[in-house]
Structure 1
Amino acid sequence: MSATAQAPRSAYVHIPFCRRRCFYCDFPISVIGQRRRGETSGTIAQYVDGLVQEIRATPRLNAAPLQTVFFGGGTPSLLSTDQLAQILQALDNRFGIAAPAEISMEMDPGTFDLSHIQGYRRLGVSRVSLGVQAFQDELLAACGRFHRTADVYQAVELLEQASVPSVSLDLISGLPHQSWADWVDSLERAIALSPQHLSVYDLTIEPQTPFGRSLQPGARPLPTEAATVAMYRQAQRQLTAAGYNHYEISNYAQPGHRCQHNLTYWHNQPFYGFGMGAASYTQHQRLSRPRTLRLYREWVAAYVAGGGILDCPPTPPWEQVLDGLMVGLRLAEGMGLRSVAAVYGWAGLELLQDCLRPYIEKGWLVLDNAGQNAGELIPSTRLRLTDPEGFLMSNQVIADMFNALTPVAPTV
């Protein structure tokens, strides 16, 4: 498993604070209200101190510096410049940060001013992911979002003034009351702002959220499944026509602006994770940290006292393979099968061949074979889903691949 044997060169840092919880959100967050941010919140300051302790206690696993750092949330743009500097300094002292590295930061419109973004830029932030979601105020209100459309335009203007090299806009389809005209309008407005990257997600109804308690999938005021499928196809048409490369199921980029940090996940490579609810994948070990502030503080204290040793079992090789299939097929380039052959042998490839034949015949899946054996699964084969139909059926294809491999005894 060459990919997972590598030492991590990426770090995810979770900043869990939000002004309010959106109605669809089940992320590990802590609501601090509309008037507080890093400069005025003792809760945020205390959290940053604990985060730095976790970073300092974490063993450095290789000499190479970090190539990517991603601040996710929550709302990382609620951090003060000094707090961001504190975290980045801790990362640099412990692991080193390459010059230049891709340093990404999720931001919400209406949560930062020009001085904040200029300060973030001075600290090395080179990529911003802006949580737009929709360009209709009524849809934003229906989702519990804090910002409105005017805030989006102001935020993009501030990012331009600060000369942020790479800006991504997030959009969500399938929102309550969202019409076809709303969706087309949001895509058009997003394209008109000329971001270097766009992420387009379909709304997921999670059980323990306000939407999960009040809405039933497939029932009004949600669009029908047929409508959301049509929205996905429309996004693919509009964004590719505008020059964006559809490089991953939900992501589009102009040349040179793919999210390098997220490619770490999709290539199933290791990464450090820090903060409340954050996941990490190092030395074949996957660990998710506690999802509340109190439990996270207790976990950090125990982690520091224990010398930075992770108390979790290694991921077995067969599970690494399944993880690789799940994330690798999200990419337009697809993934190779050498890891499948190494763990499951030729018996696994033969079962996959039978499982995937219907999807190949329907044009949802393509086999790229170098040289001979066209149409046959061999270790050098690359599998890739077609765009958009294969991407739309990815969950079914991946589930069937998992089921096909289940009866096969791993060879390692």
Structure 2
Amino acid sequence: MTLEIAATTEVGSYFISNYPPFSLWTRENVPEIRTALAAEPDRSVPMGLYLHIPFCRKRCKFCYFRVYTNQNANAIARYAEALAKEVEIVSRERGVNGRELKFVYFGGGTPSYLSSKQLRFLRDELSRSVSWDHADEVTFECEPGTLSQEKVQTLKEIGVTRISLGVENFNDAILEENGRAHLSPEIFKAYDWIQQAGFPQVNIDLIAGMVGETDENWT
């Protein structure tokens, strides 16, 4: 990185906001969360489910999320079991129990880091507590290099309706410079599998302003 680039990118800070904000993630606020879950819900308000998968093949140079790399199958299995258990516990609460999901979102990290076997296990365990059979949309984030034709078909089988493919850039030199785990051949291969599987929605994620990018190679 040149001094000029460093000067323009290190001024200020970047922060992804979320709800509830981090300032409320304290033990003192746990009773308020329990009160909210125990309250009678407004059933006219749609309910969604976000499932976080914090594993990646490697950390990209621009990433500031809490992710875990090079985890073995046992670690992932323990996490999947804990995630399903948490959903089960919350699903029994009055504010959630019996409500249909309007949307489901698998984010990360890299949800597609999970194997086909792990994905089926997670779907089977979650189905004991919640159902997304009638959800309007089930989105799944994918890193191209983690996909296989079998895994893409598994995603279709477990009910995913929208693939979010983390391409970020089609230039191999830029992908390597920014620490991405995949290269362009894997992008096109993954996209072909997704098209063949017949997903109704496919989103291609691109990042503007990556190191090494210019107006010319962006277009």
User: TM-score when scaled to structure 1?
Assistant: 0.40
Distance in structure 2 (CA, Å) of the matches to 1:142 and 1:160: 29
Would you say how many aligned residue pairs link Structure 1 and Structure 2?
175
Q: Which residue of 1 aligns with 2:80?
A: 48
Q: Structure 2: which amino acid aligns with 1:22?
A: C
Q: Which residue of 1 aligns with 2:159?
A: 124
CA contact (8 A) 1:91 1:97 kept: no
Q: Which residue of 2 aligns with 1:12?
A: 50
| Match runs of 1:93-132 below 5 Å | 93-132=128-167
**Which runs of 5 or more residues in structure 2 are unaligned?**
1-40
Describe the SS at the equivalent of 2:127.
helix
Q: Deviations over 1:368-408 (max 9, x none)?
A: xxxxxxxxxxxxxxxxxxxxxxxxxxxxxxxxxxxxxxxxx
Describe the SS at the equivalent of 1:95.
coil
Shift, 1:18, TM fit: 0.5
| Match runs of 1:305-316 below 5 Å | none
Q: Which residue of 2 aligns with 1:145?
A: 180
Q: Which residue of 2 aligns with 1:183?
A: 218
Cα pair distance change 1:5/1:164, threshold 3 Å: same
Shift, 1:88, TM fit: 2.8
| Match runs of 1:127-276 below 5 Å | 127-184=162-219
Q: Which residue of 1 aligns with 2:100?
A: 65
Q: Which residue of 1 aligns with 2:66?
A: 28
Q: Structure 1: which amino acid aligns with 2:87?
A: I
Shift, 1:143, TM fit: 0.6
Distance in structure 2 (CA, Å) of the matches to 1:8 and 1:180: 41
Q: Which has the larger radius of gyration?
A: 1
| Match runs of 1:334-349 below 5 Å | none
Q: Deviations over 1:210-267 (max 9, x none)?
A: xxxxxxxxxxxxxxxxxxxxxxxxxxxxxxxxxxxxxxxxxxxxxxxxxxxxxxxxxx
Distance in structure 2 (CA, Å) of the matches to 1:71 and 1:94: 17
Percent identity, please. Answer: 34
Q: Which residue of 2 aligns with 1:89?
A: 124
| Match runs of 1:343-358 below 5 Å | none
Cα pair distance change 1:67/1:98, threshold 3 Å: farther
Shift, 1:98, TM fit: 3.9
User: TM-score when scaled to structure 2?
Assistant: 0.74
Is 1:77–2:115 an aligned residue pair?
A: no
Distance in structure 2 (CA, Å) of the matches to 1:165 and 1:8: 22
CA contact (8 A) 2:100 2:135 kept: no
Q: Structure 1: which amino acid aligns with 2:184?
A: T
Q: Structure 1: which amino acid aligns with 2:65?
A: F
Cα pair distance change 1:92/1:65, threshold 3 Å: farther
CA contact (8 A) 1:68 1:102 kept: yes
Shift, 1:92, TM fit: 3.1
Q: Which residue of 2 aligns with 1:370?
A: none
Higher relative contact order (CA 8 A, sep 6+): 2
Shift, 1:99, TM fit: 2.2
Q: Structure 1: which amino acid aligns with 2:167?
A: V
Q: Which residue of 2 aligns with 1:263?
A: none
**Which runs of 5 or more residues in structure 1 are unaligned?**
185-412
